[in-house]
Structure 1
Amino acid sequence: MVLTDIRQQFPILSRMVKGKPLVYFDNAATSQKPQQVIDALTHYYSFYNANIHRGIHTLAEEATMAYEATREAVRDFVGADATEEIIFTKGTTEAINLVAYTWGRQNITAGDEIIISGMEHHSNIVPWQILCEEKKAFLKVIPVTDEGELSIEAYKELLGSKTKLVAVVHVSNSLGTINHVNEIITAAHLVGAKVLIDGAQSAVHLDIDVQKMDCDFFAFSGHKVYGPTGVGVLYGKRELLEDMPVFQGGGEMIKDVTFEQTTYNDLPYKYEAGTPNIADTIALKTALDFITAVGKDKIRVHEANLLAYATAHLKTIPDLSIIGEAKDKAGLVSFVVKGIHPQDIGVLLDNMGIAVRTGHHCTQPLMKRFGIPGTVRASFAMYNQPEEIDVLITGLHKTIKMLT
């Protein structure tokens, strides 16, 4: 097993919870932060805290340079052509809403169709429902198989001349399924539809190249890639971003303002109104650099080994069923235990210092598809170790015994 020494770089992993060493398996919700990221935040506030872009003094120039260095790091991280295609947002949710409220309102008309999948997070469902209701358009859903995979055959049957947008998750936050987005994108483009990829879970696990992928939009959140909360990214093809209307009005997104009219700024600032989340954006570069230094190839091998180890041991537990056994999965596993509510399991595991996620994971339609109220989800990161999975398995045995 690789990456055995990485834990010491994450200070929170040394704490105790309920008198037990912390076992953190809630990484799909948010990852922990290495000391470098924490230091980047404190360094900004300690030495060059200032507003960006408009100031001419030294602190403002240093802050601006650091902020824009993150944009270049993101461009490289996702394989975009230019920094103008990188828009900073609060997170994946805001990025998706930005597309819905700008490109969507401009391009979706009555009778048009938007396709999403049956495993989408609520943030990739609700904005399109709002848009469809407003525009009298229709929302179509790609079905999910019993194995937790998308039916590509059914998807292709949904596509047609009325399809204007396909918005799908790259990696399911509830099942871990890695969707075949290249095939999805190619098929959508054949009918003239645009494609948005929700990369909230994939950006940390998979190599991302938006140009090779040929997606029109790609969104992800900083806090799931070992970075701070409150900062995210929207990638969009330049020609689309240039043609889209503005999202919010205020400072920075303007070139010139009079009482008669306003001239909007160039990309990417056209979509970044007001003082942004400067400190967290700057620290995001440190997080991306950290991932690159460790190596995504090593991280993937490590997490795949953890997933295989956990899956094999979970299957030995009586009355436990894994929800979602796709052929291609990222490092998480969801499960239910017959006759026991997932929340009860989560509470008792927390008493043992084990942090898992329980509930519907903001994918209520997917839970309904499987006929369950929710699952227990254990999601893995580069700092997790097999010994922690052993603790989880032991904890599950004790929990099930207490609840039955």
Structure 2
Amino acid sequence: MTTSLSDPAAVRVNSPEPFAARPRPTTPAHIIRDDAEAIAVARQLAIRFAQGAALRDREGLLPLAEVDAYSQSGLWGINVPKAYGGAGVSYATLAEVIKIIAEADSSIAQITQNHLAINLHIALDGSEAQKQELFGLVLQGYRFGNAFSELNSKTVAAFETRYQLDGDSAVVNGEKFYTTGALLAHIVPIVAVGEDGVGALVFADRDTPGLSVINNWSSFGQRTTASGGVKIEQVRVPASRVLPIAAFDTPTVAGPVSQIIQAAIDGGIARAALADTIEFIRSQSRPWLDSGKDKAADDPFTVSAIGLLEIRLHAAEALLEKAGRLIDAALAQPDESSVALATVATAEAKVLTTEIAIEASNKLFELAGTRATLIAHNLDRHWRNARVHTLHDPVRWKYFHIGNYYLNHIAPPRHPWN
């Protein structure tokens, strides 16, 4: 079952009104056991998600049924450590899973990104009791959203949201934006600063009084991620749900894991754009009259251009896999050297996935021709999605950090954008 215009449950993006919490899962999610099963399940879901992706983008329909199926599939728990009942898959596998889903619908893939990063933060920073509770909820099918970034703060890492301890509770106040995943989450981890000046993740149930998630995302790309705002007014959460963020104080893979998910989404957008380019050229494009060819697919300049795009995509995918393997190694033995290697490799992958996502989605129209711009095809969604998602953090800084590492042996700074 996929979202359609005739579906009475269809919900469109960009509304000023608070959005009601989604029902919690009534049956436990499937438990994925290994890397091979994770990839197989992702491929099965991708077939379904691709069917309505263009319609959802064009009409601004939230992927409600699709996200429910996605979290119930078990893929939201694949990086839960084996010691806590998860598959603990390789991060190369996790990147491949996200790339597969993003090729089908990049908005759905992005809705997962913060949840998977938070899974790692629980593993790195959580107490034993927090790991038992929160990983248990993930494996039951609960979804984490996010309430991290703030629209009016000085920098992306400046947080004005605050929490105070009050007995056995924490009381949180603030406002967030770019809250991908929060709208459809069951639990919203809020980044807030305590009285000690230390940041923490405060895990609030989605239906907690005072927590309002607004469906007001209005970007021209990644339209159905519902990455709007969250208002936090005297939100009271058990103190046991406050998880101090310490992962960036010492060498850990927290940054590379956050980044490899971003890069995988861009890789999926690139793959989708290139696949649609090839299909359109084969089935609908006309050859240019100077080529002397009967089919557009035989135009030598078109053939060469497709070859170059495929090479660049394959290079980006190879670096994505390499980065995943180096993250695995650094997760097993974290130190300054292993984490720096993983961080730089992930940055290299992010550079190439950014470039090929934008290039492939732009070249689509040059190679497929004017008829590819017709609204009925909605092929411009690939470029819009690539242009918006690749703005998550500036690639221009990746070049600097990569060069500084190789030239001056200086590791990139540790934060979620490295």
Q: Same fold (TM over 0.5)?
A: no
Of Structure 1 and Structure 2, the greater strand share is in 1
- Greater RCO (Cα-Cα under 8 Å, separation 6 or more): 1
TM-score tier (shorter): under 0.3
Normalised to the residue count of structure 1, the TM-score between the two structures is 0.24
